[in-house]
Amino acid sequence: MSFCGLSLLRTGSEGMTVVLTELSTNPGTPVSDVFDRLATHLFESQIIFLKVPPEQIIWIENLPGDGRAEPSSVNATASQVVLEWDGKRFHSPRRIPVPPDTVKEMLESEG
């Protein structure tokens, strides 16, 4: 069993930003090890009903470093995870570093 934080943020009229946050209390597999599978599951179980096309989703991996949901420690890292969509599932994750403060601002603006 694994746990992570999840934020679904609307981006414009048709897009969405999804932030998956690693939690210090996660007893199982780290988010980064199963990101593509989590993305596929989220798309199939929730996002598809919001009618957001796969190419309009920005995926963010948030690793706070201190175990809290917001990136506040020196060890915090964040990445935009670029995923390929084959019509059935997401795969082939590529990570592009994002400043952790950018993720913090995104999450605060929705809260």
Cα separation, 78 vs 26, in Å, equals 17
pTM metric for this prediction: 0.88
Cα separation, 39 vs 110, in Å, equals 21
What is the reported pLDDT for 12?
A: 81
Q: What is the mean pLDDT of residues 70-83?
A: 78
DSSP secondary structure letter of residue 68: S
Instruction: Label residue 71 by pLDDT band (50, 70, 90).
Output: very low
Q: What is the mean pLDDT of residues 21-44?
A: 93
Name the residue with tokens 């989703």.
57
Q: In the chain, how many domains are there? A: 1
Return the closest-CA partner of residue 5 out of 17, 16, 18, 21. 21
Instruction: Label residue 101 by pLDDT band (50, 70, 90).
Output: confident
- Residue 105, pLDDT > 90, answer no
Q: How far is C-alpha 88 from the chain's CA centre?
A: 19
Which range of residues forms the domain containing residue 25?
4-110
Q: What is the mean pLDDT of residues 79-100?
A: 96
Q: SS3 of 44, please?
A: helix
